Amino acid sequence: MHIPDGYLSPQTYIPMLGVAALFWTVAVRKIRTVLSHRHIPYLAMAAAFSFLIQMFNIPIPGGTTGHAVGGAVVAILLGPWPAVLAISIVLVIQAIVFGDGGITAIGANCFNMAVVMPFVSYWVFRMIKGSETGGKRFQAAAFFAGYIGLTTAAIATAIQFGIQPLIAQNAQGLPLYAPYPLSIALPVMAAEHLLLFGIVEGAVTAMLVQYFVKNEPDLIYACREV
């Protein structure tokens, strides 16, 4: 769901850059209080993990590809605000160095994957797990944090794609940017994430959270904060 250059109109990508910048500013302030020095190496590793997991393209046979983002596990382990920062850095470097996602779309891509995803994931995790710190319900909470978080980010992306034909057309009425309307973008992106990519994100999230519960339980932000 990395929107490339050219798919968003300036009427979309400029405000999205503004929104993302707002979240970046708050995130930088927040990590001072939320993150202790002990957590900084983990945040660096979290960013590296998110970068790498995105390289594992998952195919829909004969169709499109997609991938997990790692935004849910980062938000659960280190908190949603540090996740905003770590995933944003990943997306900026992907755009500049690897051409994955457009330069103009950095704001939109960061909003979808580095803001919507970590916050939705974190909220879902807290809601489902209740006061549990282990067991079936806790694991389900981690799975659904990834599943719902990634799917929501995909839906946000699909909306940004789908409104383009409404925003900008040429004299003949042809779209100037992303050509597919909401009625196509929304169901396609929602379905591929609900049926496949979201499940992968959920499984990865549940596995890793479980691994940290076993090895470094006091690190987990979502179990610490009240």
Partner 1 sequence: MTAFQKKLWTGLVVMALLSPIGIFLPKFFGAEDAWGEWSAAKLKELIGYIPAGLEKLAALWKAPIPDYNPGGEDAALGIQVVWYVVSGLLGILLVAGVVYLLAKLSKKDEK
Query: Is 102 an interacting residue with respect to partner 1 (CB under 8 A)?
Result: yes
Query: Is 217 an interacting residue with respect to partner 1 (CB under 8 A)?
Result: no
Question: In whole angstroms, how close is the CB of 13 to partner 1 at the nearest point?
Answer: 9
- Which of 21, 22, 26, 40 touches partner 1 by CB under 8 A? 40
Question: In whole angstroms, how close is the CB of 17 to partner 1 at the nearest point?
Answer: 14
- Which of 22, 48, 166, 195 touches partner 1 by CB under 8 A? 48
Query: Is 22 an interacting residue with respect to partner 1 (CB under 8 A)?
Result: no
- Which of 21, 103, 166, 195 touches partner 1 by CB under 8 A? 103
Nearest to residue 42, comparing CAs of 77, 91, 85, 94? Answer: 77
Query: Is 59 an interacting residue with respect to partner 1 (CB under 8 A)?
Result: yes
**Listed ranges 15-23, 80-88, 120-128, 130-138: which one lies at the site for partner 1 (CB under 8 A):** 80-88
**Listed ranges 58-66, 121-129, 141-149, 198-206: which one lies at the site for partner 1 (CB under 8 A):** 58-66
Query: Is 43 an interacting residue with respect to partner 1 (CB under 8 A)?
Result: yes
- Which of 18, 21, 65, 127 touches partner 1 by CB under 8 A? 65
Query: Is 214 an interacting residue with respect to partner 1 (CB under 8 A)?
Result: no
Query: Is 180 an interacting residue with respect to partner 1 (CB under 8 A)?
Result: yes
Query: Is 21 an interacting residue with respect to partner 1 (CB under 8 A)?
Result: no
Query: Is 5 an interacting residue with respect to partner 1 (CB under 8 A)?
Result: yes
**Cβ partners under 8 Å of residue 97, min gap 6:** none
Query: Is 35 an interacting residue with respect to partner 1 (CB under 8 A)?
Result: yes
DSSP track, the chain:
--PPTTSS-HHHHHHHHHHHHHHHHHHHHHHHHH--GGGHHHHHHHHHHHHHHTTS-EE-TTS-EE----HHHHHHHH-HHHHHHHHHHHHHHHHHHH--S-STTHHHHIIIIIIIHHHHHHHHHHHHHTT-SSHHHHHHHHHHHHHHHHHHHHHHHHHHHHTHHHH-B-TTS-BSS--S-HHHHHHHHHHHIIIIIHHHHHHHHHHHHHHHHHH-GGG-HHHH--
